[in-house]
Amino acid sequence: MAQSAPLIAVLDYGSGNVHSAVKALEAAGADVRLTRDRQEVMSAQGLLVPGVGAFSAVMEQLNAIRGAELIERRLAGGLPVMGICVGMQVMFERGIERGADTEGLGEWAGVVSRLEAPVVPHMGWSTVEAGKGSRLFAGLENERFYFVHSYAAQEWTLDVLPPFPQPAVTWATHGSRFLAAVENGPLTATQFHPEKSGEAGIALLRNWIDTLPR
């Protein structure tokens, strides 16, 4: 008997790229709900947190629907969450953007800051250095993914001790190295846009979907 498609909630808090994310997840084999309903968000097998624009604006929109509480509750229960672009950035402690220092969700230590590169924003297709043990990039180690951003987390300082597994930390380079993706227990995030990365992006989302509890 075939397994039913896993249910993924895409958090509807006002971000601008939600519909392309919904379509990409559907193409990857998920049953998708664009929602802010708390019961739906908590009962879904996966939660996707998209994000475009400024760090401070995304945090303001998330706080308006008590999104931080939903994300924290899911992670505390070991329920998978995936962030995309600014949806990744807000997982860190702080974002410094155009002089504004904004508190993030604090799931990971670190600061999101402006890329140190001759040309900003970083816009276009780039390869990544997939982290050791990555399940997200399985079979996709040599693919390119679509980035559009001026800010990123540029160091990883979280110290994970046994028996907890080490995070898979993936890097990319634009001027200097920055975090392109992190897989840390139930929390996964990418700085690039899988939903804008063609077949490679669909395959990456499928890899994430394959890790979800059934």
Q: Which residues are identified as catalytic?
A: 85, 193, 195
State the DSSP string of the chain: -PPPPPEEEEE-SS-TTHHHHHHHHHHTT-EEEEE--HHHHHHSSEEEE---S-HHHHHHHHHHTTHHHHHHHHHHTT--EEEETHHHHTTEEEEEETTEEEE---SEEEEEEE--SSSSSEEEEEE-BPPTT-STTTT-TT-EEEEEESEEE------PPTTSPPPEEEEEEESEEEEEEEEETTEEEESS-GGGSHHHHHHHHHHHHHTS--
